[in-house]
A and B are shown apart, each in its own frame.
Chain A
Amino acid sequence: MNTEALLLSLRLAVTVSLLLLVLAMPLAYALAFFQWRGKFLMESIVALPLVLPPTVLGFYALIALGPHGLLGKIWQSLFGHPLAFTFAGLVIASLVYSLPFAVQPLVVSFELLDRRLLDASAILGAGRMRTFFRVILPLAWPGVLTSLVLSFAHTLGEFGVVLMVGGNLPGVTRTVSIDIYDRVQSLDYAGAQQTALLLLVVCFVVLSIVYGVNRRVWSPWPAK
């Protein structure tokens, strides 16, 4: 088994899921608690990575992160080296790729909250921040956990986007799923099998945790 690839994937998944938690909170807050014109556009953008082929997403990410892309140029001028084919580039592309998995459970858990609790908090003098940290977050924690776990699992197994943006540099951008693909290509089925089985188990355990905690928050299965 390729431990280097596994550790890289874990590092990527942890970084992305933690960053997404911070990024997704304000987005989910805006989607759950405010009504505004054009909100459906924001919802479509957030959900886009769900249906877009990873190669298409990866292609545009590659353009944006490349030496002629906007993000690539800014990165180059700040850090003096290009963004594409680096770990940082992978993180940025993965943020977009896993965004819906982080935002959606949060939106659902926020919307499930009793609005009168938020009203009560306001009446008792608490501003938006205090209400968020003292009432919304503690009561929506199953959604927060689900958001974290799903974006972790989704990033761990990503393939198409990584291949497009990261290439296949050992220790830098060579993740487990790329590793599996490589081994199959070189007919090393036994090696591929080990890694594939590990990923399968990890994903199954992760989903079991989510549904064990609260199946209402994110589930393709109807609530019982």
Chain B
Amino acid sequence: MLFVQIRKHFSTNGAKPFILHVQASFAPGFTVLFGPSGAGKSTLLDCIAGLQQPDAGEIRLEEEIFFNAACRINTSPQRREIAYVFQSLALFPHLSVEQNIRYGLAKLAVSEQRNRVENIATAFHIAGFLRRRPADLSGGEKQRVALARALVTRPRVLLLDEPLTGLDVSLRRSILEDLRAWNEAHRIPILYVTHNREEVDAIGEHVLTLADGRVQESGTPRAILDAPRSVPLAQAAGFENVLRATVAEHRPADGVMRVALQGDACEIEIPLGEAGPGSEIRVAIRAGDILLATEAPHFLSARNILPGTIESVETRGVLVQVRVKAGAAFLVHVTPGAVRSLGLAPGQLVWLVIKTHSCHLVR
């Protein structure tokens, strides 16, 4: 178990100072650090690795203290036995793949070095190009080498800062599978930074959300990312519609409240939340959670049915983005088939159908 409780203050020129203030513990296995860019995710990893020093607090692995401001303990990164894969990967460009992997094994006997390189190269499928330089590798190969170089040292904690950005889904999945297999055998805390929703779902044991230097929530991906509680997190989690609204009325018996969307008298019903009547809130709705109808629908359980006009229809691969003006501006995702059968086109009158529980209260 890795325990982190730190504070670090950054003075910025003119703008308001950024404060990283995190208290969290990380069990063996994957923890996804999720949050918008600038939330402090990479700084947190740097502090755990010992590359940056917090102003106050403590970082320890079980009983071993890496950092303690009060006791003036600050173990150097060399002695923490932590592995860290940077977003840029930072492979040594002048060394071959094998030399890169061996770099962290300098203290071991040569035979042991050879052994470990061989094993890790097999596990991460890089045995075929040990003699090549990083410049001669593809993106996915580089990422595999960076992981191998980090894991060959048998670290006690693994820090991954968006290590799989820019890879296509199948490649990402296969590298994640290798990483998962490795973790089955070693069981150490793995902190995985990403702002990619798909990666969260693919790894998904435990998620910790960070925004503005603070931990927002911690739990399973489903519990957290399906009901984000702050605007930047909602945007990062893929909620395309984040609408300003004012709470109009509480209906505790039904477990709902009615809110008025800004700019229009249009009201919708959302689950009852901690916001009193009259307070300003935001409502997050996924574009994929909204249905479109070309006639006024009847006999539906959905409580929110809003008339509106299509402003634009844009095809993006197998997804069609429809912008609808219905008081507020909504973004709706539909399939190309739906566009064809309904004959959706700009200027057309449509009805938006939104279930109460597809609407999320966001602060």
Contact = CB atoms under 8 A, between A and B. Distances in A.
Interface of A: 114, 116-117, 119-127, 130, 134-135, 138-139
B84 A123 contact: yes
Given A116-B86, A116-B88, A134-B103, A125 B78 contact: yes
A18 to B, nearest CB: 24
B103 A124 contact: yes
A126 B106 contact: yes
A120 B106 contact: no
Interface of A is mostly: helix
Interface stretch (B90-98, B231-239, B274-282): B90-98
Nearest to A117: B90
Contacts, number: 53
Q: Which 8 A-B pairs have the closest CB atoms?
A: A124-B104, A120-B90, A116-B90, A122-B77, A123-B84, A138-B94, A125-B78, A124-B103
Contact of A126 (B83, B86, B88, B103): B103
Interface string B83-119: 1101010101110000000011011000000000000
A123 B94 contact: no
B82 interface: yes
A58 B122 CA distance: 65
B354 interface: no
Given A117-B90, A123-B78, 10 more contacts: A114-B90, A119-B49, A119-B90, A122-B50, A122-B51, A123-B49, A123-B51, A123-B82, A124-B103, A130-B106
B78 to A, nearest CB: 5
B153 interface: yes
A114 B104 contact: no
A123 B77 contact: yes
B92 A125 contact: no
A123 B90 CA distance: 11
Contacts of A130: 106
B37 interface: no
B100 to A, nearest CB: 9
Nearest to A130: B106
Contacts of B86: 116, 119-120
A173 B76 CA distance: 51
Contacts of B88: 114, 116
A80 B173 CA distance: 76
B49 A120 contact: no
A110 to B, nearest CB: 15
8 contacts: A119-B86, A119-B90, A120-B84, A122-B78, A124-B104, A125-B153, A127-B78, A139-B94
B323 interface: no
A134 B94 CA distance: 9
Interface residues of B, number: 21
Contacts of B82: 123
Contacts of A135: 92
Contact of B83 (A122, A123, A139): A123
B90 A124 contact: no
Contacts of B106: 125-126, 130
B144 interface: no
A117 B86 CA distance: 10
Counting chain A CB atoms within 10 Å of each CB, the highest count among B78, B93, B149 belongs to B78
A116 to B, nearest CB: 4
A122 B51 CA distance: 9
A129 to B, nearest CB: 12
Nearest to A120: B90
Contacts of A119: 49, 51, 77, 84, 86, 90
A124 B149 contact: yes
A125 B90 contact: no
B1 to A, nearest CB: 21
B76 A122 contact: yes
A126 B94 contact: no
A138 B93 CA distance: 10
B107 A120 contact: no
Contacts of B77: 119, 122-123
A124 B153 contact: yes
A120 B92 contact: yes
Contacts of A138: 94
A138 B77 CA distance: 22
A130 B83 CA distance: 18
Nearest to B146: A120
A121 B107 CA distance: 14
Contacts of B50: 122
B39 to A, nearest CB: 20
Contacts of B153: 124-125
A221 B103 CA distance: 38
Nearest to B80: A123
A125 B94 CA distance: 18
A38 to B, nearest CB: 21
Counting chain A CB atoms within 10 Å of each CB, the highest count among B83, B92, B106 belongs to B92
